[in-house]
Structure 1
Amino acid sequence: MLKLLYAASEAAPFVKTGGLGDVAGSLPKELKQQGIDVRVVLPKYSLIAEKYRKQMKHIYSGTIKIAWREKYLGIDTLEYNGITFYFIDNEDYFKRDDYHGYYGYDDDAERFSFFSRAILEMLPVIKFYPDVINLNDWHTSLVSVYLKLNYSDNSHYSKIKTVYTIHNLKYQGIFPRYMLTDVLGLDDNYFINGDFEFYNNINFMKAGIIYADAVTTVSNTYAQEIQTPYFGEQLDGILRTRKNDLTGIVNGIDYTEYDPKTDPYLTANYDISNALEKKIENKVALQKRLGLPIERKTPIISFVSRLVEAKGLDLLIRILDELLQYENVQFVLLGTGDQKYEDWFHGLQWRFPKKVSVTTTFDNKLAHQIYAASSLFLMPSRYEPCGIGQMVALRYGALPIVHAVGGLRDTIEPYDSYVNTGNGFTFNNYNAHELLYSIKRSLEKGSDIILRRRILENAMKSDYSWSSSAKQYKEIYSKLASK
């Protein structure tokens, strides 16, 4: 049986700040279904819910060396949904109770170099030497580096292969040069030879790409885009050198968690046979909860996302006043992020109190209710490695309107009424006028009940469960393990 260790800085339900948490929480379950002995390793953050921390079993206490430092290493374990999780414990690094919680600290380089080294030191403790370690984003990128530079002479480690998955190329782990020796404990020659060098700093992600045996990212289109200067975040050259080892695999979503037929958060559960009628019941319930006028025939357009520039917020700011002034719609937003965006959307709600609801907190239950109540779901992202929101929206019959980029291009096909194909609406150029036109076009088609039913059925028939994607990961793992 193929043995896999899945290493990540977050995984739902224990830790989730974005798409990585969803992926690391759901992909391993499908990989196990496909016959892989998969285990997951995470940092033991103090912000993990107490109900999970109480279930953890402590299995090891010791120390490891990071550069000149000797640091405490604890290992806890917990089985959840049939998957064994390991938690790397060090309170100096992971007991952070402020608003950051997980990332964004001055010592992040030290925290995650410790985590990477601890992953490898953990293997003899748990008596599990995987065939492959799947690393995710910059936080675990050093595992492949340490594995090749420090453990290659150890027979237990020498056959281990690494797959490095890029979830978002923008976040690379860039730190001052001196940290290579002082924090990572590596010779400065690895800066001089270019493995870590990045404009006189060091770059964790760059090294991860260079040292991994295979590289994946989270959609096929994104895999092509990041090899170009526009999307490549100054790593396009390195990625082009690995193009034969680079594979794009579209993420999936957990069809157990996101199932309108059984979702406990919904007022009215539904499936494809009664979605139009039941979505109206959910709309009325949402309107009551949010204090919007009860209007059964008024479409709800929703936006559920982090409030950051990359999500296309500048386009929304340009068109929403005009849209709300001239169209009979309600706009519902859920998300937190940059203060300037939060303030602007609260201002929009003040200007259109009967048409707009803005919630700037994280509320998973409300998110499910918004998907179920919405007619249209906006994702006008400037770039999008994969995106999960549009796939959840499809599952709930909220028709996505997306910028045709990255994973959005791979998952949303524009509706063609002549042949009845497509599951949503797209616009090709990152332009506010094109976004506004797409929204108006979708509202026009949605006003025709026959067309609306056809598009909704196409959307809800779209299959973005993990089954197909997990098979592609398994093929990569198996190929590497056989070398």
Structure 2
Amino acid sequence: KYFNNGDLEFYDAVNFMKGGLIYADYISTVSKTYAKEIQYEYFGEHLDGLLRSRQDTLFGIVNGIDYDVYNPSKDKNLYEGYDVTTLDRKADNKVLLQKDLGLPISRRMPMVAMVTRLVAAKGLDLVVRMMDEILQHEDIQFVLLGTGDKAYEDWFKGLAWRFPTKVSANIYFSNQLAQRIYAASDIFLMPSNYEPCGIGQLIALRYGSVPVVRETGGLKDTIIPYDKYTKQGNGFRFADYNAHEMMYALKRALSAYENYEEWKQIVENAMNSDYSWKESAREYKALYEKLTGSEA
């Protein structure tokens, strides 16, 4: 019955997701931008037409992180705890990570980091295209942690071989090292091709590592471009999935880093951003109350 009436039929096969979308009272996903993106063919996985027809009952509520777990002042994985009022201790974390990873020790050397799965969706093609050029022309350190497709693993190993004093490629996963990288790094790179919400940028904000992200999904919703005139914003963004745009966004961040007071303002804005579950829980509660007809 439900196949023949079209509710489950999907290109001569059965799609229970389609059925769920049709019969749900409300539909929610993990960011407002992603809720819009999935109404278009590129992101919609052939369900974009159905999602467009349900747009009045489609909601995007961004994920949060546990601020008790992700707390740089209490995180036992870090070399040294810190908060927004003790940013010198963040630099201490950088020095100790540089020592452990065998990189030249410098408190003022900008450290760019990625903690990621090594898969195409994370925008690694852009990194592969531009990172050699960036490292040749910029005085930076680049630290990577993650595993994934062998081609990317091998490429990052090669990058570390070509730039042994600038690159640390850690092709494994360690929660302790991940937390230390968030704490030590100055800039957190997330050039994702798509990212429904993203957790990495939220952790980075909490630890004062300024995100450089592509404008997609939750990255667009949570990272506000810094404006040096209003002193508002918590990171840097680029719009198109383009390697040169990524490079220019990263260079904007590096340029801001050269101005100590300006960079301190951006880091403070990042750490004062609130992406705990508090606001997201309030939105979910309101949605469920609307669903049950129990709104206040």
The corresponding residue for 1:204 is 16
> Highest relative contact order (Cα 8 Å, sep 6+), 1 or 2?
2
Structure with the largest fraction of helix: 2
- 1:286 & 1:205 partners in 2: Cα distance? 45
Secondary structure (helix, strand or coil) at the match of 2:212 reads strand
Q: Distance in 2 between matches of 1:240 and 1:249?
A: 18
Partner residue, 1:296: 107
Deviations 1:385-404 (A, max 9, x none): 11111111011000000111
Counterpart for residue 234 of structure 1: 46
Deviation at 1:293, TM superposition (A): 2.0
Quote the residue 2:37 is aligned against.
Answer: 225
Residue equivalent to 1:4: none
Instruction: Show the 5 A alignment for 1:1-400.
Output: 189-275=1-87, 277-400=88-211
Q: Give the aligned residue type for 2:38.
A: I
Partner residue of 2:273? 462
Moved more, 239-248 or 459-468: 239-248
**1:481 matched residue in structure 2:** 292
Q: Deviation at 1:219?
A: 0.6
Instruction: Among all aligned residue pairs of Structure 1 and Structure 2, give the percentage whose two residues are the same amino acid.
Output: 59
Structure 1's unaligned 5+ residue stretches are: 1-188
Cα distance between partner residues in 2 of 1:340 and 1:205:
33
Letter in 2 for 1:352: F
- What's the RMSD between the two structures over aligned residues? 1.3
2:236 is matched with 425
* Matching residue of 1:179: none
What is the rounded CA distance, in whole Å, between the counterparts of 1:229 and 1:352 in structure 2? Answer: 40
Q: Following TM superposition, by how much is the alpha carbon of 1:331 offset from its aligned partner in structure 2, in angstroms?
A: 0.6
Partner SS, residue 443 of structure 1: helix
In the alignment, which of 238, 258, 262 is matched to residue 447 of structure 1?
258
Deviations 1:237-271 (A, max 9, x none): 11112212110111111101111011111111111
| Cα distance in structure 2, aligned partners of 1:202 and 1:317 | 39
Q: Say which SS state the counterpart of residue 365 (structure 1) adopts.
A: helix
Q: Deviations over 1:155-208 (max 9, x none)?
A: xxxxxxxxxxxxxxxxxxxxxxxxxxxxxxxxxx33332222222332232222
Name 1:471's counterpart in structure 2.
282
Q: Deviation of residue 309 (structure 1)?
A: 0.9
Alpha carbons of 1:202 and 1:477: their partners in 2 closer, same or farther (altered >3 Å)? Answer: same
Report deviation, 1:476.
Answer: 1.5
Cα distance, 1:297 vs structure 2: 1.8
CA distance in 1, matches of 2:3, 2:118: 36
Extract unaligned runs of 5+ from structure 2.
none
Q: Could you tell me which amino acid in structure 1 is paired with residue 12 of structure 2?
A: N
User: Which whole-Å CA distance do the structure 1 matches of 2:18 and 2:92 have between them?
Assistant: 50
Task: State the alpha-carbon separation in 1 of the partners of residues 19 and 158 from structure 2.
Answer: 44
Secondary structure, in 3 states, of the residue corresponding to 1:230?
A: helix
- Tell me, what secondary structure is at the counterpart of 2:263? helix
Any idea what the Cα deviations from partners look like across 1:4-28, whole Å, max 9, x if unmatched? xxxxxxxxxxxxxxxxxxxxxxxxx
1:229: Cα distance to partner?
Answer: 1.5
- How far, CA to CA, are the matches of 1:439 and 1:368 in structure 2? 22
Equivalent position amino acid for 1:307 in 2: L
1:294 deviates by 1.7
- 1:470 Cα deviation from its structure 2 partner: 0.5
Q: How many residues align?
A: 294
Cα offset, 1:419, TM superposition:
1.0
Q: Which residue of 2 aligns with 1:27?
A: none
The Cα shift of 1:431 comes to: 0.8
| Superposed displacement of residue 213, structure 1 | 2.4
Shift of 1:481: 2.3
